[in-house]
């Protein structure tokens, strides 16, 4: 698809109008005065691998073999504590594009995504055209803008093409190989040699379901023991793994006499991570050969993580534990080294737009609710929300403490006794011990709960974007969502 919804001049007007509206609304934003950069303007590349957990990457001590990402992180900036603002794609990418939280931009879902209306029609949220997106900011500044996306949730119908001169969603389908996206992006780069700076957005799907198959030998090396009779959670997990992890010859694990185990799921997931890493290496090679590489900014991250049955549940979108929220973020920003930014401070996708506006002296829309990672002090609270069918749910962290609030509780941890759960991430990084459970609290946890529960309703400003008409999903899309576990 060629041609964003707004022309460059229209997008620039939109930036100015949004700034005026933001000032009237009292929202924060990129208000500081910048000096226009001298010399040719740098290009910007944003790379997303969908459903990529931070803790599986080699650079973060994970088991996947990821030499391209690890080298990129080692040579540039690796943020140690990056989090998404939502555990699934649509609200997460909408936050990246607008620096608004899901409760503000409204691209979250509701029970209609699961139930449909009386006729069985599913209608889902779209990104409001009135919002000024990251692509529109760059377009207004004279950048060429292009996107290549694999995830069907980013179909043009859902509003994400705003501001892109070229938006290619032709391979936006589940299981789409990253090699197709890389080839298309490299072809676009080859034709963009001498036309000035560009913004390039790439959204891979390699870590997302469906996972790559296992060779029979590696599957047998990871075979598990049969669940004990009556162990419902283990039986459910084994049945899920049998469906999620095929063998390379097309057979299911039980058909080959192999007892499914979590080790099979972990290996299949990691193979997807490694497949993305190979594409990242090819993409970085192409970028390094492109004119202007010495001043090109590159961000490599994810839209969300993936639950791998740590709590008896696989997939993503429903819960606010860190297996779904903790994402990688590595960045190449020429002229900025590890000593120039706090790499241990919690950061989020909500921060990307104001950081780019600040560093490149672009007219930033108002309001935005992220911070400029290179200039602003650390934000006190890091917030995630926008779960798929319970969009009111929220997680808030402050240093080493994290509070989860799940008032609707349809997908809450069954071991929890109430809508709140509190975790001391310093002593319990995997969130296994709720400090609000009977007998688990102390003065320190009581103080943390008091502080975080009070901040819960104030940490995200009550700003609301205009609502746009929902888009209707096609029957084949609904069936694919059901097959991937999004729908009952």
pLDDT of residue 36: 47
- Give the pLDDT band of residue 304 (cuts 50, 70, 90): very high
Domains of the chain: 8-381+461-483 (3.40.720.10), 383-458 (3.30.1120)
Q: What is the pLDDT of residue 195?
A: 67
Instruction: Tell me the per-residue pLDDT of 380-412, one tens digit each, with 9 for 90 and over.
Output: 899 999 888 788 899 999 989 999 999 887 665
Q: Report the pLDDT value the prediction gives residue 488, as an integer from 0 to 100.
A: 55
pLDDT at 27: 43
The rounded distance, in Å, linking the Cα atoms of 219 and 109 is 37
Query: pLDDT class for 225, splitting at 50, 70, 90?
Result: confident
How large is the average pLDDT for residues 161-189?
92
**pLDDT score, position 411:** 61
What average pLDDT does the segment 239-255 reach?
95
Q: What is the pLDDT of residues 69-99, one digit of tens each?
A: 999 999 999 999 999 999 999 999 999 999 9
Which region among 73-77, 142-146, 235-239, 371-375 has the lowest average model confidence (pLDDT)? 235-239
Task: Quote the pLDDT of residue 273.
Answer: 98
Give the pLDDT mean for 185-190: 93
Q: What is the pTM of this model?
A: 0.89
Give me the mean pLDDT over the 150-163 stretch.
92
Cβ pair 237, 308 in contact under 8 A: no
| Chain CA centroid to CA 1, Å | 23
Residue 171 confidence (pLDDT): 86
Confidence at 465, pLDDT banded by 50, 70, 90: confident
Residue 441 has pLDDT above 90, yes or no: no
What are the C-alpha distances in Å from 204 to residues 155, 180, 207, 295? 14, 10, 8, 24
The answer on pLDDT for 207 being more than 50 is yes
Q: What is the average pLDDT across 106-118?
A: 66
pLDDT bracket for residue 6 (50, 70, 90): very low
Query: What pLDDT, on a 0 to 100 scale, did the predictor assign at position 16?
Result: 38
- Tens of pLDDT, residue by residue over 24-46, are 333 444 443 334 456 789 999 99
User: Crossing angle of helices 262-288/67-75, nearest 10°?
Assistant: 60
Residue-level pLDDT at 468 = 77
pLDDT of residue 115: 56
Say how many residues make up the chain.
Answer: 488
Q: What's the mean pLDDT when you consider all of the chain?
A: 87
The residue with greater pLDDT, 355 or 191, is 355
- What was the pLDDT predicted at 112? 58
Out of 113-117, 270-274, 283-287, least confident range: 113-117
Res. 278: pLDDT tops 90: yes
The residue to which tokens 């319970």 are assigned: 390
């Amino acid at each position: 698809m060629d041609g964003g919804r707004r022309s460059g001049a229209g997008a620039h007007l939109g930036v100015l109008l949004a700034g005026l509206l933001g000032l009237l609304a009292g929202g924060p934003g990129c208000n500081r005065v910048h000096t226009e950069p001298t010399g040719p303007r740098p290009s910007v590349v944003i790379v997303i691998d969908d459903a990529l957990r931070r803790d599986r990457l080699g650079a973060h001590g994970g088991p996947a073999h990821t030499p391209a990402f690890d080298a990129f992180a080692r040579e540039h900036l690796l943020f140690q504590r990056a989090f998404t603002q939502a555990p699934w794609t649509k609200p997460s990418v909408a936050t990246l594009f607008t620096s608004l939280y899901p409760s503000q931009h409204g691209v979250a879902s509701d029970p209609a995504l699961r139930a449909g209306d009386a006729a069985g029609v599913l209608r889902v949220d779209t990104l409001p055209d009135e919002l000024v997106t990251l692509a529109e900011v760059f377009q207004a500044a004279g950048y060429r803008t292009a996107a290549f996306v694999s995830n069907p949730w980013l179909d043009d119908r859902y509003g994400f093409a705003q501001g892109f001169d070229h938006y290619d969603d032709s391979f936006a389908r589940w299981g789409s190989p990253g090699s197709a996206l890389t080839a298309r992006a490299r072809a676009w780069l080859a034709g963009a040699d001498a036309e000035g700076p560009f913004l390039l957005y790439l959204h891979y799907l390699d870590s997302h379901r469906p996972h790559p198959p296992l060779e029979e030998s590696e599957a047998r090396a990871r075979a598990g023991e049969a669940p004990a009779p009556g162990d419902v959670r283990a039986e459910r997990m084994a049945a899920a793994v049998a469906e999620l992890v095929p063998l390379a010859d097309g057979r299911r694990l039980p058909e080959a006499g192999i007892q499914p185990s979590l080790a099979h799921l972990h290996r299949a997931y990691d193979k997807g991570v490694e497949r993305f890493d190979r594409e990242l290496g090819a993409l970085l090679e192409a970028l390094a050969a492109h004119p202007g590489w010495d001043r090109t900014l590159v961000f490599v991250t994810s839209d969300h993580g993936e639950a791998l049955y740590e709590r008896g549940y696989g997939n993503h979108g429903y819960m606010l534990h860190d297996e779904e929220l903790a994402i990688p973020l590595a960045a190449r920003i020429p002229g900025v080294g590890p000593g120039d930014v706090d790499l241990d401070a919690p950061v989020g996708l909500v921060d990307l737009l104001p950081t780019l506006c600040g560093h490149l002296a672009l007219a930033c829309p108002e309001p935005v609710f992220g911070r400029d990672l290179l200039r602003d002090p650390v934000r006190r609270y890091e917030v995630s929300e926008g779960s798929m069918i319970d969009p009111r749910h929220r997680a808030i962290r402050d240093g080493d403490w994290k509070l989860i609030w799940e008032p609707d509780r349809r997908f809450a941890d069954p071991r929890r006794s109430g809508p709140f759960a509190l975790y001391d991430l310093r002593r319990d990084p995997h969130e296994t011990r709720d400090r609000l459970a009977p007998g688990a609290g102390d003065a320190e946890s009581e103080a943390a709960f008091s502080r975080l529960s009070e901040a819960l309703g104030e940490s995200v400003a009550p700003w609301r974007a205009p609502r746009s008409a929902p888009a209707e999903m096609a029957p084949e899309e609904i069936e694919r969502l059901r097959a991937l576990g999004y729908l009952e």
